[in-house]
Structure 1
Amino acid sequence: MSKVLAVLAIGAGLVSPLALPAAAGAGGDYNGTWSVELVTESGLCDSRYRYSVAVNDGQVRLVASADRATMSGRVGPDGTVGLSVSNGAASGAVSGRLQASSGGGTWKVSPLCSGRWTARRQAMRTAQAD
């Protein structure tokens, strides 16, 4: 069960599953890597989960996953997050909104558990030659 929620956490970054400009309407304002935290508010899941997700032109992907989870969904040009996540027989939904450097929303694994998520954009680092 905790693996299912863990996958949702990753997907929520949607996270984020968010900083390079992209074509208009492509969700490019949210490109980059996001740190996502899920908090369980009801149900049988662990209380908190933390993960990283990447967004590229609106497409959300897991940065790393230790299980066979799958995720599909997008971040819209206005920051709207909509994801579907599954792991074996369990499936869930993540929704919410991203802004320039943060975001949040809700998640649910019916009928196991539900809660809220928050996301923070990770700072981009650039290398400098000496």
Structure 2
Amino acid sequence: MKRLPLALAIAGMSSLLVSSADARSAYDGPWSLLFVTQYGPCDPTYNFSVNIINGIVTHPNLVNFRGRVARSGAVRASVTVHEKYASGSGRLVGPSGRGTWSGHSGNARCAGYWTAQRN
């Protein structure tokens, strides 16, 4: 069974409804994420870094990555790499955050939670 990298779960973060008119958010800057698998054959933990610019969550090496942070701190993200997909949601509050993620790679399903810390 193929393993679903928790990096995909970074999604463990995830696509919010934030208008493109929203400029600079209170959450802009670099963030470190920790993804923990609670269910499925994925790696037990995975560390990942993202950058938030104007409320948009970005990662330089993932082309099919979409993520947004609302002014309220609500966050959603999703990522697709080949046949692997993951998405997640949660909330950022000040310099930290927490949420849940789930995904699949073929028939393998995984899920868990993520935490975030501003760098």
Structure 1 equivalent of residue 51 of structure 2: 54
Specify the structure having the higher radius of gyration (Cα).
Answer: 1
- Dislocated runs of 4+, deviation >3 Å: 1-4, 24-27
Following superposition of structure 1 onto structure 2, how do residues 104-119 of structure 1 map, counting pairs within 5 Å? 104-110=98-104, 112-119=109-116
Aligned length in residues: 109
**RMSD of aligned residue pairs (Cα, Å):** 2.2
The answer to which structure, 1 or 2, has the higher relative contact order (CA under 8 A, 6+ apart) is 2
Judging changes above 3 Å, is the alpha-carbon distance between structure 1 residues 94 and 27 closer, same or farther for their aligned structure 2 residues?
farther
Judging changes above 3 Å, is the alpha-carbon distance between structure 1 residues 40 and 78 closer, same or farther for their aligned structure 2 residues?
same
Q: CA deviation at 1:78?
A: 0.3
Question: In 2, distance between residues paired with 1:103 and 1:118?
Answer: 6
Q: Secondary structure at the match of 2:85?
A: strand
Give 1 or 2: higher strand fraction. 2
* Cα pair 1:106 1:114 within 8 Å, conserved: yes
User: What CA deviation, in whole Å up to 9, does each residue of 1:16-59 have, x standing for no partner?
Assistant: xxxxxxxx954610000001000000001010000110001111
Q: Secondary structure at the match of 1:28?
A: coil
**Structure 1 length normalisation: TM-score?**
0.74
Gaps of 5+ in 1: 16-23, 123-130
Question: In 2, distance between residues paired with 1:26 and 1:2?
Answer: 37
Give 1 or 2: higher helix fraction. 1
Gaps of 5+ in 2: 15-20
